[in-house]
Amino acid sequence: MGRLGKVICAILLYYLNVMSAYENRTDLIKNITMALSSYFNINCFIIFHKMNDTLKNFETFKALSSDATISVGAYAFDNTDWKSCTKQLNVIIGEELKGEFAGFTKRNAMIDETWLVFLNTPSSDFFRDSRPSFGSEVVAAEIFNPHEVFLREIYTVDDGFPLRIVEFGKWTLLNGLDVSRTSLYERRSDLEGKVMRIGSNENWPVCSFSNGEWDGYMPRLWREIESLINCTTVPVRSVDDATGLEFKNRTWNGLMGMLLKNEIDVIAAELTMTKDRMEVIDFTYAAASAKYQLFFKALGYRLEWKAIFKPLALSTWLALFGWTVIGSLCISLTYYWYNRNGFPESERINFTKVESFFFILQSLCQQGYPVVPTSLSSRIIFITAYALSTIMIPSYSASLISSLTYQAPIRPFDSMEEMVAVGKYKLLVKRNSAAFSQFSRATDPLYEKIYRKFIDEKHSGVQMDNTVKVLDDIVCTEVNYAFYGIDMIVNLKMQHQKPKCNILTLSRPLSPVFISFGLRKDSPFARLIDLKLQKLRNIGSVYRLKTGLRPLSSQGSGEMVFRQVEVDEIFQVFLLLLLGMILSVIILIIEFVVWRTGIWPVTSRKGKSTEGKRGSLIIRLDVYMD
């Protein structure tokens, strides 16, 4: 037999093996089902049959049940109790359930459901009247050839949109399963121009309708998403400019109410995630993360007494004092040693203990002194003192000047607990908001107490959306008021319009808050938006949009800004000078009294007694200590 004959025989033998291997349809269905279950990570199968009909695909049911790791069930299609697993693969074999499946797709959202339909006819025939959901995974296996089965993916964008049948992959005997490895919503990024009604309210910089233009952080972010999913946006303003608060009768106002009534499709506003909201709507990934904060008027600036000593640590002050004492003792001992050894008068150092102390002190302060040391030993001490002052004086001066020109204003309190303890402040909170519900539905004793005693009722009718106006008219003007809001939003507003007083916050923010897009429960588009949000975050678009909302003046001009120091802010410094003057006058009076009364004999520098003489009022008290 020639080489060509051998090749032909091999091909025929292979073909016969393939045909014999899959002559049994049950084995073919089992292998495809097992391969797709591994791809979808599912080990629970449901095989459907008609109502009041025995399971015609019993062999398939038996074959799948042979694997102990797999749960297999058989249900009639009209049975409403067939969802036995959290995640299951629903299998239809043949065209008999065409009508039942079409009716099911029109009645159910099918979110996160996975279906596998085995067909002997083209997919377009079986699914002609079906409307599989955008969020479902429906795969049709077209068995035209037992050794190569093509797989199609079927879905619709929404009601009124055409049926989409796209190639998903294929299964072959040689290679097994060969399908797309991209995620479901990466394959379905095109909404084919679907109209999306986007609800917002007036709350710049998050969202705004001013000047007839829909703008703000959330609208700009949505425009980025819109370009990625090919939809058509129709902005809709909230009927009451509220985000949404649940009432006792379980109804909602604002954008939440509009979404639940199907008046809008997506909320793009200052929508924060709360437990109550998550029970009735779906949230996307966080579009922005922030924290709640208290905003209140600063009490002003004040230089504390210890601020004069703060530039140097206590150990440094003690070291300087110790050096002053030791240096003065060294110079004084040198003076006595020179006297005792009879050095010439020109070389004698005339420093008493007190004069030595003041000499070292003035050297440390880089001040001059009328007497200059003449001996080398004394000059070494003198030079050492000046060298030390060259290092210490600039350090002290720089730190003190900095503390005078840049001072942290005083907070009346620095936590919610301290605010309650102070007992004088009223809290301003936007009504019909998630922030207000934090207090009105609080289980925490602190927040319950704040709601009962500290929530302001006097200004309950004031529109809180214009945050800077609230800060100017109430917090800055009236006494003891604090505003409760989201730090990111309030800070952006204050960057665009500076309040007329100095507004402070707590040194540590309060509870975290996440702002997201909101959609109705089981919306098939929530995960698609999640995917695009993640993509925008990865490429830096989310950060760029946030920073783009800041005014240019707040992004830094490169110029240094100086603050003038007011006299009342350094009152303590002038008070110290005044105390020094008063002390000098008191000492002068004491010296004068001592000299006039002759209580203590006073000796002049030349060694002559001045007792009883009144020719001079200048008495050196340090002579007594000589």
Handedness of CA 458, 462, 466, 472 (dihedral sign): negative
pLDDT of residue 625: 41
In a domain, 94, yes or no: yes
Using a pLDDT cut of 90, give the percent of the chain over it.
38
Residue type, 192: E
* Category of 245 on φ-ψ map: left (φ > 0), alpha (ψ -120 to 50) or beta: beta
Residue at which a domain ends, from 471, 494, 515: 515
pLDDT for the residue numbered 624? 38
Q: Give the lowest-confidence range in 37-41, 65-69, 205-209, 261-265.
A: 65-69
What CATH number is attached to the domain comprising 116?
Answer: 3.40.50.2300
By the 10 Å C-beta count (0-12 exposed, 13-18 middle, 19+ buried), 572 is classed as: middle
Helix then strand then coil, in percent of the chain rounded to 5, is 40, 20, 40
* Partners of residue 482 on adjacent β-strands: 296, 427
604 domain residue, yes or no: yes
Answer yes or no: is pLDDT of 3 > 70: no
- Cβ neighbourhood burial of 39 (10 Å; 0-12, 13-18, 19+): middle
In a domain, 467, yes or no: yes
In a domain, 559, yes or no: no
Residue 458 and residue 533 in one domain: no
> In the chain, how long is the greatest CA-to-CA distance?
152
Q: Say if CB 502 and CB 297 are below 8 A apart.
A: yes
What is the distance between the alpha carbons of residues 5 and 605, in angstroms, rounded to a whole number? 137
**Does 206 lie in the same domain as 351?**
no
pLDDT-wise least confident of 63-67, 214-218, 325-329, 501-505:
63-67
Distance from CA of residue 164 to its chain's centroid? 41
> Both 313 and 243 in a single domain?
no
DSSP letters of 285-309? Answer: S-SEEEEEEEEEE-------GGGGT
Check pLDDT > 50 for residue 43: yes
* CATH number of the domain to which 491 belongs: 3.40.190.10
21 φ/ψ angles, rounded to the nearest 5 degrees: -65, -35
In a domain, 561, yes or no: no
Helical (H) or strand (E) element with 258 = helix 254-260
Q: At what angle do helices 353-364 and 376-405 cross, to 10 degrees?
A: 50
Higher pLDDT pick, 134 / 65: 134
Render pLDDT for 120-164 as a digit per residue (tens, 0 to 9). 999 999 999 999 999 999 999 999 888 899 999 999 999 899 999
pLDDT of residue 324 exceeding 90, the answer is no
Regarding whether 325 and 198 lie in a shared domain, the answer is no
How big is the chain by its Cα radius of gyration, in Å? 43
Q: Which two tokens stand for residue 23?
A: 């002559």
Whether 457 and 478 map to the same domain: the answer is yes
pTM of the model: 0.71
Most confidently predicted of 6-15, 312-321, 331-340, 371-380: 312-321
Q: Which stretch of DSSP H or E encloses residue 332?
A: helix 314-340
Looking at the 3D structure of the chain, how many domains does it have?
5
Residue that finishes a domain, picked among 149, 184, 219: 184
- 413 and 383 within one domain: no
How open is the CA angle 526-528-529, to the nearest 5 degrees?
A: 65
Q: Domain of 394?
A: 305-405
Q: Band the pLDDT of 393: cuts 50, 70, 90.
A: confident
Choice among 130-134, 468-472, 480-484, 575-579 with the minimum mean pLDDT: 575-579
Q: Identify whether 12 is part of a domain.
A: yes
Question: How would residue 58 be classed by pLDDT, with cut points 50, 70 and 90?
Answer: low
Picking from 375, 455, 402, 359, the residue whose alpha carbon sits closest to that of residue 565 is: 402
Q: Which residues of 357-392 are buried (b: 16+ CB within 10 A; e: fewer)?
A: bbbbbebbeeeeeeeebebeebeebbeebeebbeeb
Cα→Cα distances 318→302, 312, 313, 366, 599, Å = 27, 10, 9, 19, 37
What pLDDT does residue 561 have? 45
Residue 379 has pLDDT above 90, yes or no: no
- pLDDT of 341 over the 70 cut: no
pLDDT of residue 397: 80
Portion of the chain with pLDDT greater than 70, in percent: 76
Assess whether pLDDT exceeds 70 at residue 25. yes
Amino acid at 148: E
Average the pLDDT over 435-459 and give the result.
89
The confidence score (pLDDT) of residue 622 equals 43
Residues 334 and 223 in one domain: no
Q: Domain check: are 378 and 423 in the same one? A: no
Predicted confidence at residue 45, as pLDDT, reads 84
Q: Locate all alpha helices (DSSP H) within 22-57, ordered by sequence.
A: 25-40
The DSSP bridge partners found for residue 606 are none
- Cα of 516 vs its chain's centroid, Å: 13
Is the separation of the CB atoms in 265 and 519 below 8 Å? yes
Angle, helices 314-340 vs 376-405, to 10°: value is: 160
Torsion of CA 48, 50, 55, 56, to 10 degrees: -100
Task: Assess whether 169 and 318 both reside in one domain.
Answer: no
Instruction: Kindly indicate the confidence band of residue 70, based on its pLDDT and cuts at 50, 70 and 90.
Output: low
Give the pLDDT confidence score for residue 399 in this predicted structure.
Answer: 77
The neighbouring-strand residues paired with 519 are: 266, 282
Q: Say if residue 166 is in the same domain as residue 215.
A: no
Task: Round to whole Å and give the CA distance between 365 and 393.
Answer: 7
Q: What is the pLDDT of residues 487-523, one digit of tens each?
A: 999 998 898 888 988 899 998 999 999 999 999 998 9
Q: Which one-letter amino acid corresponds to residue 516?
A: S
Mean pLDDT on 251-268: 95
**Residue 362 maps to which CATH number?**
1.10.287
Q: Assess whether pLDDT exceeds 70 at residue 540.
A: yes
> Is the pLDDT at 581 greater than 90, yes or no?
no
Question: Any residues with CB less than 8 A from the CB of 336 and at least 6 apart, and which?
Answer: none
Residue 342 in any domain: the answer is yes
598 in Cβ contact with 331 (< 8 Å): no
User: Residue 569: its pLDDT value, please?
Assistant: 61
Confidence tier at 577 by pLDDT (50, 70, 90): confident
Is 155 found in the same domain as 115? yes
Q: Average pLDDT, stretch 366-389? A: 72
CA atoms lying within 13 Å on the CB side of residue 464: 23
Residue 443 lies in a domain: yes
Final residue of a domain: which of 157, 184, 211? 184
SS3 for 540-591 is: CHHHHHHHHCCCHHHHCCCCCCCCCCCHHHHHHHHHHHHHHHHHHHHHHHHH
Instruction: Give counts: helices (H), strands (E), the chain.
Output: 20, 18
Who contacts 481 (Cβ-Cβ below 8 Å, separation ≥6)? 296, 297, 425, 426, 427, 428, 456, 474, 475
Question: Which positions ≥6 away from 239 have C-beta within 8 Å?
Answer: 254, 258
Structure tokens that stand for 322 in this block: 């110790």
pLDDT at 615 over 50: no
pLDDT of residue 80: 61
Q: Say how many C-beta atoms besides its own lie within 10 A of residue 287's C-beta.
A: 25
Would strands 114-119 and 89-93 be described as parallel, antiparallel, or unpaired? parallel
Residue 311: per-residue pLDDT:
78
Quick check: 169 and 151 in contact, CB under 8 A?
yes
Mean pLDDT of all residues in 45-59: 66
Report pLDDT for 597: 79
Length of the chain: 626
**Residues 105 and 12 placed together within one structural domain of the fold:** yes
pLDDT in tens, 172-218: 988 899 998 899 999 999 999 999 999 999 888 899 998 889 999 99
DSSP 474: I
Average pLDDT, the chain: 81
